[in-house]
Amino acid sequence: MDFKRVKEARQLPCFKKRLIIGVVLLACFLPAAAQAQPRKYRVEKAQVRLHLDPDEKSPVVAKLPQGSILTQASAVRFRHNWVFVYYYLPEKDKTLAGYVQEPELRKLFPSFKSVLISNGSSISEPRELDFSQNYDFPLIWGMPEEKVLEVEGEPLGKEKSGETEILQYRREIMNRNCLVEYVFRKNQLTAARFYMLDNFIDNNYYISDFMKAKSYLKEQFGQPADDQVVWLDSTYKSKQEFWGQALGSGLLEFRSSWIIDETEVDLILTGSENRVALLAECISQKYKNLLSH
């Protein structure tokens, strides 16, 4: 599939069009995959309550919508499955703190077998993102797992939790080595995620890639429905040369999202403990409610 023919995808059958558009949009990245425990989460359910204390009867500080990004404030678990987190409230431009139950969240740094991890070498000058690179993605929303296996072959990794199952593959996309995840809920394809396995020495390259991907999406599909630059600490806000350092420290985040037909595309750049995740996720609007149960 040629990236220059993105707009022609609008002529394709409805379900196939959603995922083809999603893959055209996605350049998702996860450097340093084998390093320390991640401290970033994303809300999976339709809504999650942020409590004052690790107790369901505790006062609710805020109701967090699906897709919200949380920063873990303490590695300690409270009452087995409660975590203490920070949440940036964009409408009030302030950061809240409280407790949420970890099963209602998803780690932004995925876990996978060592066979999927890159060779560990760091890249000082990465290649340019190639938006013209072909990548066939013949999948459609709602597809059962066995059909995806027929198309993509045996996965390198597989995860299962309750009614959610994830197939993991390694692919080269847009000049980046990527981990590709297909997410199934009740045996229906509901989302696709891509994570880059390359390691950049300078975190500013991730910011550059995010900006280029965002610019490309804007050219193809217009302004994002949601667009945020979040500073959890504004110390380096006026010093752009230190933005990479702020990103790796978990103090700076970038988020943009688009609604394209019935597909939601989220582009996120975040970091923690000098780990950076530039990820994009394509989610079926029709099947999105399956992910929140």
Which CATH superfamily hosts domain 40-107?
Answer: SH3 Domains (2.30.30.40)
Burial class of 93 by CB neighbour count within 10 A (0 to 12, 13 to 18, 19+): exposed
Identify the H or E element spanning 246. Answer: helix 243-248
Phi, psi of 215 (to 5 degrees): -60, -40
Alpha-carbon span 103 to 18, nearest angstrom: 29
Stretch 111-126: mean pLDDT, rounded?
A: 63
Question: pTM here?
Answer: 0.75
Stretch 158-176: mean pLDDT, rounded?
A: 89
Per-residue confidence (pLDDT) for residue 290, from 0 to 100? 64
Per-residue confidence (pLDDT) for residue 133, from 0 to 100? 78
- The amino acid that residue 31 corresponds to is P
Helix, strand, or coil (residue 203): coil
| Cβ atoms < 10 Å from Cβ of 41 | 23
Helix, strand, or coil (residue 102): helix
Is 114 a residue whose pLDDT tops 60? no
Per-residue confidence (pLDDT) for residue 245, from 0 to 100? 93
Stretch 52-59: mean pLDDT, rounded?
A: 92
**Per-residue CA distances from 72 to 33, 41, 77, 94, 159 (Å):** 18, 7, 10, 16, 23
| Cβ atoms < 10 Å from Cβ of 285 | 14
What are the residues whose beta carbons fall under 8 Å from the beta carbon of 98, sequence distance 6 or more? 50, 51, 52, 61, 62, 84, 85, 87
Most confident among 45-54, 119-128, 273-282 (mean pLDDT): 45-54
Q: In which residue ranges of the chain is CATH 2.30.30.40 found? A: 40-107
Do residues 272 and 39 lie in contact, with contact meaning Cβ atoms separated by under 8 Å?
yes
The model's pLDDT over 246-278, given as tens digits with 9 standing for 90+, comes to: 999 888 999 999 999 889 999 999 888 788 888
Q: What confidence category does residue 59 fall into, taking pLDDT thresholds of 50, 70 and 90?
A: very high
Q: What percent of the chain has pLDDT over 90?
A: 36
The model's pLDDT over 20-40, given as tens digits with 9 standing for 90+, comes to: 444 444 444 444 433 444 478
Stretch 35-46: mean pLDDT, rounded?
A: 69
| Cβ atoms < 10 Å from Cβ of 229 | 12
